Structure 1
Amino acid sequence: MNSVNITPEKNGIRYGLFTAAGMIVYFLLASMLHLTERVEFSFLNGVVLAIGICMAIAHFKRVRNDKMPYLQGFGTGIITSIVASVIFGLFFVIYTVINPSIMDQLRARDLFGFDLSVTIAFLAILLQSVMSGVIISLVAMQYFKSPDHKPIEGIE
């Protein structure tokens, strides 16, 4: 992608797909190792999400020759997290159809009670991933912002 054709949206979608693939691979690996029974291991999805967001912002900055507007970089990270979380959430819904015992395992942990449904789990995945993605993007942009970035001096 050259700098003329790259936009925060295109870059965010591209890296969102990569990030979702990483989250899915981690989930399948955890499922094969029976680590899905322990909800504590789900925090590693946040690590995968952070890596994907940082890679998306770094790529966007590199393609733009280190001249990246702050909000475009921030938007790239947010779009990456939205795309990744929606795809991973949909994968989780499909996975519960294939392997319904995963919902029984989550219910047995009594984190949400026996009222936990696939819909609530999907919405929880979306909420957790998108909110984490916004915070990760905000923190990552402090590192990736352009060296000539100047904060607003005053609003008149």
Structure 2
Amino acid sequence: MASNTISTESFGIRYGIIAAAAMIAYFLFINVINLQDMEVVRFASNIFILVAVIWAINAYKNRSRGPMPYLPGLAVGFLVGLISSVLYAFFIYVYAKFLNPDYATVLKTQDYYGSVLSPMMLAGAITILGTAVGTMTGYIMMMAYDNSGARTAD
């Protein structure tokens, strides 16, 4: 039974780290080209979570060589979103608090979710949003891989 030896945690951690590295690289890139103050551009970093979840679930499916188990697929999506967003939020917190305190000042003047957030609160918001993106992407992917046989009448 190859599917019993496959760890959802290993896939979640591996692809979560990959997504976090891509998000951090993206953040540094938008800083180089001076777009870090645009909320829409910063929000686009969540695309990396979406791509990593799709990549992780497809890798998990290929490795299991059988029907894709529904709950492990959801777990992979959740873990990728959680790991990547926690690592990215930690980076943003360290960056704004210690590496570039001027950026923390910029963040304090911007309106997130209808209120001004401290770097710690912003890290929490990033974590919640990233986990939601990963979980919902995993849910949608598992709908595509549903092997239950339930079909609607045409």
Category of TM-score, reference length = shorter chain: 0.7 to 0.9
Instruction: Report the residue type matching 1:142 in the other structure.
Output: M
Aligned-partner Cα distance in 2 for 1:60–1:7: 9
Q: Where does residue 63 of structure 1 map in the other structure?
A: 63
CA RMSD of aligned residues (A): 2.0
Structure 1: gaps of 5 or more residues = 152-156
More moved, 13-22 vs 62-71 = 62-71
Aligned-partner Cα distance in 2 for 1:80–1:112: 24
Residue 108 and residue 32 in structure 1: after superposition, are their counterparts in 2 closer, same or farther (change >3 A)?
Answer: same
Q: Where does residue 9 of structure 1 map in the other structure?
A: 9
Does the 8 Å CA contact 2:9/2:79 hold for their aligned counterparts?
Answer: yes
Aligned-partner Cα distance in 2 for 1:76–1:111: 29
Aligned-partner Cα distance in 2 for 1:73–1:23: 22
The 3-state SS of whatever aligns with 1:67 is coil
- Give the TM-score of the pair, scaled to structure 1: 0.85
Aligned-partner Cα distance in 2 for 1:59–1:112: 35
Aligned-partner Cα distance in 2 for 1:69–1:87: 27
Please identify which structure carries the higher helix content: 2
Note the C-alpha offset of 1:6.
2.1
Q: Where does residue 83 of structure 1 map in the other structure?
A: 83
Does the 8 Å CA contact 2:110/2:116 hold for their aligned counterparts?
Answer: no
- Give the TM-score of the pair, scaled to structure 2: 0.86
- Calculate percent identity across the aligned residue pairs: 28
1:49-93 residue CA offsets vs partner (Å, 9 max, x unmatched) = 100000000000000114221111111111111110111111111
Q: Where does residue 129 of structure 1 map in the other structure?
A: 130
Q: Where does residue 50 of structure 2 map in the other structure?
A: 50
1:94 and 2:104 are equivalent in the alignment:
no
Instruction: Report the residue type matching 1:149 in the other structure.
Output: S
Aligned length: 148
More moved, 42-51 vs 112-121 = 112-121
Does the 8 Å CA contact 1:49/1:81 hold for their aligned counterparts?
Answer: yes
